[in-house]
Amino acid sequence: MTGPPERPSTERTRLATAGARAATAGSLSRQPGGDVVKGNIFFALLLLAIAVVLFGLAAIIVQAAINGAPALSFDLFTNPSSSLPERAGFRTALIGTLYLILGVVLLVVPIGVGAAIYLEEYADRTRWWNRLIELNIQNLAGVPSIIFGILGLAFIVRGPLDLGFIVAAGSLTLALLVLPTVILAAREAIRAVPPSIREGSLALGATQWQTIRRQVLPASIPGIATGVILAVSRAIGETAPLLLVGATTFVTFNPTFLGDDGYSALPVLIFNYATRPQDEFQTLASAGVIVMLVVLLAINAFAVWLRNRYERQW
């Protein structure tokens, strides 16, 4: 029952230990000089790539802010579209976009969440039709937006639905475009609710739908809401399909949801102003971009806040 064996603590052994440690560390960390240089160059390249991305993002925002600043005024929101730059603004287009998005939300929330509930809670994945639906949704998410414009033109504006060039047709087209995004996000949110919650509810005698409505849905609302908000922010900026389904640009009056006097939308009007030769219109287009980016950044920030505030760890 003695203490630890006494350490040899003479000057010589201390030096020997230090020397051995240095030799070991030296041989283990030794790298051919070329590798160090290559590694540094590689790291510099990585930083350069990140810098290019961040610089590009900053350039887009700063460029719009600088070019659009002269046109930023309250008139921008009160003037209708016009072919005279001094009288042109975005009022009619903003109202058009508001109606479009309202329609998108009304359509996409019930259908998207319904589809997600079906796929997560009811669908038997061994059945071919359910796998077909899943594959189909993934594919639909990658279809170019202008193809949805063609669908809108041939199927909704004309053809079977024959709605004409009205706001509702634009809403329906955009809703179909963002539907896959909403379904995928809602499925993620529903999947994150642990099975034990469902089993507990079922064991207490609740039916499957009661379980979904009172347990699963309330628990997954934050995730679903985040997905819907991100889909809406995509719909706000989407231009190409609207060009095809009748978002004409020179509407000088406020549009209505079902009126067939034509309508306009913010990104479409921005695009139209940008293609005009006068410098004043380029300025207006940049001002429109600022308005759109501010709205989108606010919406995205809200979505991030919502996710962080209500996200639950089970």
Partner 1 sequence: MQARDAIGASGAIGTSPPRSLEAPSRRYGEKAIQGLLALCAIVSVATTTAIVVSLLIPTLSFFSEVPVGDFLFGTDWAPTFAPASFGVLPVVVGTLSTTLWGMLVAVPVGLLSAIYLSEYARPGVRRVVKPVIEVLAGIPTVAIGIFALIALSPAIGKVLPFMVKVPPFSAGVAGIAIGLMIVPIIASISDDAMRAVPGGLREAAYALGATRMKVATRVVFPAAISGVVASVVLATSRAIGETMVVLLAAGASPNLSLDPGSSVQTMTAFIGTTATGDIATGTITYDTIFAVGTLLFAMTLVMNVVAIRLVRRYREVYE
C-beta neighbour count of 264 within 10 angstroms: 30
Q: What does each C-alpha distance from 176 to 147, 156, 230 come to in angstroms?
A: 11, 11, 15
Q: What's the farthest any 2 CA atoms get from each other in the chain?
A: 101
Report, in Å, the least distance between residue 15 CB and partner 1.
29
The least CB distance from residue 22 to partner 1, in Å, is: 19
Alpha helices for the chain (secondary structure H):
11-28, 33-68, 75-78, 91-117, 128-140, 145-151, 167-191, 195-203, 208-211, 217-237, 240-244, 266-275, 279-310
CB of 193 to partner 1, least distance (A): 16
The nearer residue to partner 1, 14 or 127, going by C-beta atoms, is 127
Closest distance of CB 85 from partner 1, Å: 16
Whose Cβ is closer to partner 1: residue 17's or residue 139's?
139
62, burial (CB in 10 Å: exposed 0-12, middle 13-18, buried 19+): exposed
Under a CB-based contact definition with an 8 Å cutoff, are residues 99 and 257 in contact?
Answer: yes
Least distance to partner 1, CB of residue 105, Å:
15
Closer to partner 1 by CB, 42 or 257: give it: 42
Of 222 and 246, CB closest to partner 1: 246
Closest to partner 1 by CB, 13 vs 139, is 139
